[in-house]
Amino acid sequence: MANLRADLLNEFRNQKYYAEMELVRLAQEPNMNYKNKIDKIAETLEKISVINQQIGLADAYFQAPEQQVQAPQVGEPIVGQPEGETVQVAQPLVHQGQSHGE
């Protein structure tokens, strides 16, 4: 199966590259009406900012496989430990008034 995350990020980066090239072209265009130039540059910058947000979201929702590794649960044997031995993982302390450990 193809790597969905890599393909998605590649697509967004390609879109961003071409939008940045368009931005440079617009900034250097000598024969364009000034008001139109400002409007087109603003649109292109908005497009680039949306693409940047899409890249961030894709990174967050489609994490790389090595980033998806979870810490072992309490009493769960760790790979490489002899069978029959378990490792106790310390649980975070939660004080009165806290909703989670810090």
* pLDDT tens digits, 35-84: 999 999 999 999 999 999 999 999 899 886 665 545 555 555 555 555 55
Annotate 2-43 with DSSP letters as a single string: --HHHHHHHHHHHHHHHHHHHHHHHHH-SSS-HHHHHHHHHH
User: Which residue type does 27 have?
Assistant: A
Predicted pLDDT at 54: 95
- Which residue ranges make up each domain of the chain? 4-68
pTM: 0.59
